[in-house]
Amino acid sequence: MSPAADAPEPLPGAPVPAPSGLGAPARTPHPIEVESYRILRERLGDRLDGLGPLSRAVTERTVHSVADVAFGETLLLDEDALVAGREALLAGAPLIVDTRMAAAGITARETIVPLADPRAAERARATGSTRSDAAFRLAAADHPDGAVWAIGNAPTALFALLEEVAAGRVRPALVVGLPVGFVGAAESKAALHRSGVPSLTNRGERGGTPVTVAAIHALLFHREPGAPSA
């Protein structure tokens, strides 16, 4: 028997390598997930009309992640930015996330967690900033061009990244900025939307790691109509 024949079958819904040349992982959704998507599409109704393929995929998957149809109404979607971000991810661009929880949730790609950098705590103490702020400034120096950045928890990380962008020190392929909270979250997302940086964000205080992970998975798992399946 060949090694491939001995390999265990993947669990339902688990990502598996895509066919050669496609770059994107393929997955087989569980029947419960299929029914869940049917329900959410019915509830979203015509709010999905007119959305580009990736904008629709992001809307559906983020809504699904929190079981909150109203969350879809807050999204600020830019199809061209999502296309650029997806292409960067599939080409192997660094994916930088703000929490270990996000890193654990993103099952299809390796991630970089700047908070794990021991220099972050030292810089935060020296500058009086938060560790998230310090960590993202260090990460910006390490990954100045073409990375995808995903922030679902720390508004200070998003503000720091935007300051690095404004100073010309970092040029992201895409910023997924969906931090949650009552202090700074809405303001940081509004600043991201105004910045002109290729981005996916939303209005208001809602956000978080689950929707951020869902948005990244929407980009990674999206498959063009007619593409062969693994």
Catalytic residues: 64
End-to-end CA, the chain:
21
- Say if residues 178 and 201 touch (Cβ distance below 8 Å): yes
Q: How far is CA 73 from CA 66, 100, 125, 204, in A?
A: 13, 28, 39, 11
Helical spans, DSSP H, in 1-130: 3-6, 31-44, 53-66, 79-90, 100-105, 118-127
Q: Dihedral, CA atoms, 29, 35, 40, 42, nearest 10 degrees?
A: 130
**Strand-pair category, 199-202 with 174-177:** parallel
